[in-house]
Amino acid sequence: MRKPHITPYGSWKSPITTDMLVSETIRVNEIALDGQNVYWIEGRPSEGGRNAIVKRNVDGSQVDVLPLPLNARTMVHEYGGGDYAVSQDTVFFANFSDQRLYRLQPGAEPEPITPPERKRYADMVVDQQRQRLICVCEDHTHSDHDPANTLVSVPLDGSGKLCTLVAGNDFYSTPRLSPDGSKLCWLTWNHPNMPWDGCELWVGSIDANGYVSYAEHVAGGESESIFQPQWSPDGVLYFVSDRSGWWNIYRLNADGTIEPMHEMQAEFGSPQWVFGMSTYGFASAQTIICRYTEGQDKLASLDTRTKKFTPIPVPYTVISDVQVTPEHVFFIGASPSEFRSVVALDLQSRQTTVLKRSSTLALDPGIITEPQLIEFPTENGQTAYGYYYPPRNAAYEAPEGELPPLQIWSHGGPTSQSVAVLDLSKLYWTSRGFAILDVNYGGSTGYGRAYRERLKGQWGIVDIDDCVNGALYLANQGLVDKERLTIRGGSAGGYTTLGALTFRDVFKAGASFFGVSDIIGLAEHTHKFESRYTFGLVGPYPECADLYRERSPLNHVEQLSCPMILFQGLDDKIVTPDQSQKMVEALRARKIPVAYIEFEGEGHGFRRADSIKRAQEAELYFYAKVFGFELAEQVEPVEIENLHS
């Protein structure tokens, strides 16, 4: 074997290039079933980031359903999800460019079935009995800042009028028809709640004219979160609730009582950031196949009669988009050694088959780093969690005595979760000599409601403390260089990044992707779905305006002294571009080293190949200049203002 090259951390030559990130990787999600056919969405950076719908036929062949340039992506709540539905070989989808619903029948051209109005649609269910779709409608006719949300019906052929079925509350999701078509269930909530704070489950009867004639609130409330109501094949309503402090599965009995199916300290649900999420399904009226999170994601069967709970071993530690038939379970699966993939599990043989990988790259095992789940002490005697990725590249070693630079990854949300999967964007860094700690700070999901609520009123404190303490924990263990601690994050993770650089003196550099610099600006200008989110994270606004100002990094740039790079999409409606622009102006005025890159045509999260490539290379270039190491490859330079001031 060749001896490893002795080269400083950060200067290792890696086989993982930015071209691989954009040309060899797709996003896979939103599995749908129609008879024996399986569908899913592929997000393709090489096609401008569009969502293509792919169909897998019974014979195993795969075909694109949507011709270019159609893009199955709704913008309801800005985050979308629930972009399409399939029934009897016909696909119904929301098209990104005009937000209209389309019908696509085999061998025919796509036809719009909603008029060219300022309305958006999501979370569709097909009502074949009445030849209509039932879905969420977000009406921007009178206001973009405060659109009206309702449940509506849409004729399948587009020949009739849209009818409002349920209205009056701020938000709706998950309309689902009972098997006989006589009942409709749905979730609803009002400001200032987010659906994971508390929402209500309602059930209504459908009359002879197709309207909801009687509706009853059956579960949930302001402090109980309901997730994924679903009818069993024999017409019994099941749902996930966190009434015990953990998202567990429950059943609504005929007498109106609610019965837990299997109580345990594990999460069977997830925060409803997007529509159409699914963590369980029915193989039969007697058998539920469910995903649950207990440190990592697992799969199990649950007998609805005996309540026997039987784990199903699978080689995946992250599982989502669960869809079930009597013979198979389909899901998106991933692990530290497996890219996100569309997976089929045979319920008889318990064998798994990969239908589509998000990347087909055959990676050199010498660059794959095994994430380590760590627990570390944080403020008030609490424990926080994270996944530690040590640098690894078998072709290189650092000079004796050198410790690697560390990147703290702060996830968005902040009500979200970091998971350990094979990820080219992480290998890009670790194979060049960086260590990563992906932090699940207080407020993250996967650890029960109490852990999630650590961030209640404490955004900008608990998340920052946990990221700081995670970095110091690794430094004190002698694993990383205390003088080269960095932090990066997007959206809410960008806010944590900006706050950690402003209010703490631990990190030496950072990267903010469409991060929040001014919480008041966020509260006043963000979209409807999140317009009261800060009420729970910080406090009511404007009553707590002083607190908002106190926790906004933009108002305290005099405390900043370390270099920063910021990235921003100019079409972002969630964290508007002025959040980054004002921060850059303040840093310039303070003569602090700063780099800033804007992307035309990008929104909240970068989807286009050129944007992803540019951002990744620019961040690497930035650290090389700040920490003074040589890059192993040439990348497009970035202007760093005040670098030598």
Element holding 609 (H helix, E strand): helix 609-627
Mean of pLDDT values over 162-178 = 97
Point out the domain boundary residue: 344, 360, 376: 360
Q: Is residue 37 part of a domain?
A: no
CA dihedral (68, 72, 75, 81) positive or negative = negative
Question: What is the DSSP secondary structure assignment for residue 641, as one 8-state letter?
Answer: B
Say what the pLDDT of residue 645 is.
62
pLDDT tens sequence across 445-454: 999 999 999 9
The mean pLDDT of the chain is: 96
CATH code of the domain containing 389? 3.40.50.1820
- Hey, how many other C-beta atoms are within 10 angstroms of the C-beta on 477? 11
Do 318 and 422 belong together in one domain?
no
Do 345 and 406 belong together in one domain?
no
Do 327 and 456 belong together in one domain?
no
Pairing label, strands 509-513, 564-569: parallel
Do 570 and 432 belong together in one domain?
yes
C-alpha to C-alpha distance for 47 and 41, rounded to whole angstroms: 13
Q: Is residue 236 part of a domain?
A: no
Local confidence band at 144 (pLDDT 50, 70, 90 cut-offs): confident
> Is the predicted pLDDT of residue 131 greater than 80, yes or no?
yes
Do 486 and 559 belong together in one domain?
yes
Do 448 and 575 belong together in one domain?
yes
Say what the pLDDT of residue 1 is.
60
Closest CA to 332 of 320, 324, 323, 344: 320
What is the layout of strands, in order, in the sheet containing 287-294?
280-284, 287-294, 296-303, 309-312
Do 411 and 538 belong together in one domain?
yes
Point out the domain boundary residue: 301, 334, 360: 360
Say if CB 410 and CB 488 are below 8 A apart: yes
> Is the predicted pLDDT of residue 238 greater than 70, yes or no?
yes
Paired with 389 in beta bridges are 436
C-alpha to C-alpha distance for 185 and 507, rounded to whole angstroms: 49
C-alpha to C-alpha distance for 243 and 257, rounded to whole angstroms: 14
> Is the predicted pLDDT of residue 2 greater than 80, yes or no?
no
Tokens of 217: 């609130």
How far is residue 333 CA from its own chain's centroid?
Answer: 15
> Is the predicted pLDDT of residue 241 greater than 70, yes or no?
yes
> Is the predicted pLDDT of residue 483 greater than 80, yes or no?
yes
- Hey, how many other C-beta atoms are within 10 angstroms of the C-beta on 357? 18
Share of the chain above pLDDT 90, in %: 95
Do 444 and 580 belong together in one domain?
yes
Do 421 and 356 belong together in one domain?
no
Point out the domain boundary residue: 300, 327, 360: 360
Say what the pLDDT of residue 142 is.
92
pLDDT tens sequence across 263-292: 999 999 999 999 999 999 999 999 999 999
Q: Is residue 420 part of a domain?
A: yes
Say if CB 200 and CB 216 are below 8 A apart: no
Say what the pLDDT of residue 410 is.
98
Q: Is residue 640 part of a domain?
A: no
Give how many domains the chain has, as a whole number: 2
How far is residue 304 CA from its own chain's centroid?
Answer: 30
Local confidence band at 20 (pLDDT 50, 70, 90 cut-offs): confident
Q: Is 60 exposed, middle or buried (0-12, 13-18, 19+ CB in 10 A)?
A: exposed
Local confidence band at 295 (pLDDT 50, 70, 90 cut-offs): confident
Mean of pLDDT values over 362-382 = 95
C-alpha to C-alpha distance for 331 and 353, rounded to whole angstroms: 11
Domain residue limits at 354: 278-360
Closest CA to 268 of 206, 232, 221, 319: 319
Mean of pLDDT values over 386-395 = 97
Say if CB 358 and CB 339 are below 8 A apart: yes
Instruction: Please report where in the chains the tokens 């029960």 appear, as a residue.
Output: 448
Q: Is residue 612 part of a domain?
A: yes
C-alpha to C-alpha distance for 86 and 421, rounded to whole angstroms: 30
Q: Is 151 exposed, middle or buried (0-12, 13-18, 19+ CB in 10 A)?
A: buried
Do 427 and 531 belong together in one domain?
yes
Q: Is residue 419 part of a domain?
A: yes
Local confidence band at 469 (pLDDT 50, 70, 90 cut-offs): very high
Q: Is residue 436 part of a domain?
A: yes
Q: Is residue 440 part of a domain?
A: yes
Do 484 and 354 belong together in one domain?
no
Mean of pLDDT values over 27-45 = 96
Do 612 and 488 belong together in one domain?
yes
pLDDT tens sequence across 523-574: 999 999 999 999 999 999 999 999 999 999 999 999 998 999 999 999 999 9
Phi-psi region of 67 (alpha: psi -120 to 50; beta: other; left: phi over 0): beta
pTM: 0.95
